[in-house]
Amino acid sequence: MTGEPKVWPPFLSQRIIRSSSQDDNQACPYLLSRKILGTGSYSAVFECKNTSNGAHYAAKQYAKRLFYGMESSLQSEFKILKRVSFGHKNILSLIDYFETEDHFYLVTDLALGGDLFERITSSCEGRLQPNEAREILLSVLSALAYLHSNQIIHRDVKAENILFKSRTAKPSHLLLADFGLAKIVKDSENGLLEHGGTLSYMAPECLSDAPYSYPVDMWAVGVLTYFMLCGYMPFDCDTDKETKQLISTADFIFEPIEYWESIPDPAKDFISQCFVLDADARITAVDALSHPFILNTPLKRSASNFSISQLQAAVWRLHSIQSLSSSTRLAQLSNGVSGHSSLSSRLSLNESSSSLIASSSSHRLLGDRCYSPELVSRFCTPLISAKVSPAHSQSNLKISPGPTLPKSNGGSSQSGSAEFFI
């Protein structure tokens, strides 16, 4: 199935409770778990349940106080998700959307199998077998080919943004997620100039003032492939300056030799074709699907007597550093725009007092003590980072039975004109 659905999934009519003073307002049909599935620079993800049909989804929550002045970013993510949802089996789909006084929510597919970073680092060798990496790449490349054919650059392809549908899911049963940095490239544009992403996966052209386009995603695929096959990054150094220097010159090596000799040559060639400095000569997603490494019959890793214990210890230390830094890197890159030293840290600190984030890990959606958010309105009201509507006053909030919900500070009233158009 391709293209946009003719009818966008609406709120279930039997769950709508209209407010006598505000026709746009209605009761939310979802129950949110207190357990956080993941966090980003400006958002947190919760499991949620449609109370009518029992279906489980993921609800990505955005704090409005952190998005003041950056509403266009959320608008862009919404527009792109709407454009690609239900168009490809390996791309996260948008199911629904709503807002409360303090937050925006995007309801998407639920993936409970963890991300690719976790799958790599938790494997017995700290890396994946070539056959498993090939199956993952087949799905990722297919998803990227679909995005690029729809004039979309993901710009943040990395292990943390590749989610598995379940813990027992096959390598190919994955979803490419997080379109917060994705951009639509118009035919009239020569490329993008706006920089963003995760440094370890950035292409050389993203570090310069030159325009860039779809090839940046394929450079990231090369980093991803290298990481899957050996368990460490090709360009990461002690400092960002050194890392940028290696990226800008495509200075990578397949070493130690004893560690890489068991990796099939087609896999190394595939990585090399992704790490071409000339973006125009870099392999495309479509061409990559026909590369021998991707099309090959199941590969057999050759035996190696090399002891990897010392290398493995260094790799695990690197994983810890990368895991810690990856969640804060975008916030650090955004300091000049947001005016905050660490928005991701601020989100965690501010949300710790919110009723949506509890310290207990026992409140799973399948159990008790789940609750509905406040009375919500459709995304037809202006997107502002303060009070959405007078109807969201405390007297109009309707909350299902449960613990008392402390109210977040909303900030001063602002006017805005950005809207989510359906």
Enumerate the active-site residues. 156
Cβ-contact 182, 80 below 8 angstroms: yes
CA nearest to 33, candidates 368, 370, 366:
370
Cβ-contact 46, 356 below 8 angstroms: yes
* Length of the chain (residues): 422
CA nearest to 171, candidates 258, 238, 113:
113
Tokens linked to 144: 């990227």
374: Cβ contacts below 8 Å, ≥ 6 apart: 28, 100, 101, 392, 397, 398, 399
- Stated as kind and residue range, the H or E segment containing 80 is helix 71-84
Tokens linked to 12: 């279930």
Cβ-contact 233, 223 below 8 angstroms: yes
Helix, coil or strand: residue 391 = helix
Partnered with residue 153 across adjacent β-strands are: 183
Cis omega (within 30 of 0) on the bond before 256?
Answer: yes
Helix, coil or strand: residue 36 = strand
Cβ-contact 275, 248 below 8 angstroms: no
Say if residue 60 carries a ligand binding annotation: yes
Rounded-to-integer distance, Cα 38 and Cα 140, Å: 21
Q: What are phi and psi of 152, to 5 degrees?
A: -120, 130
Rounded-to-integer distance, Cα 358 and Cα 360, Å: 5
| Annotated binding-site members for ATP | 60
| Annotated binding-site members | 60
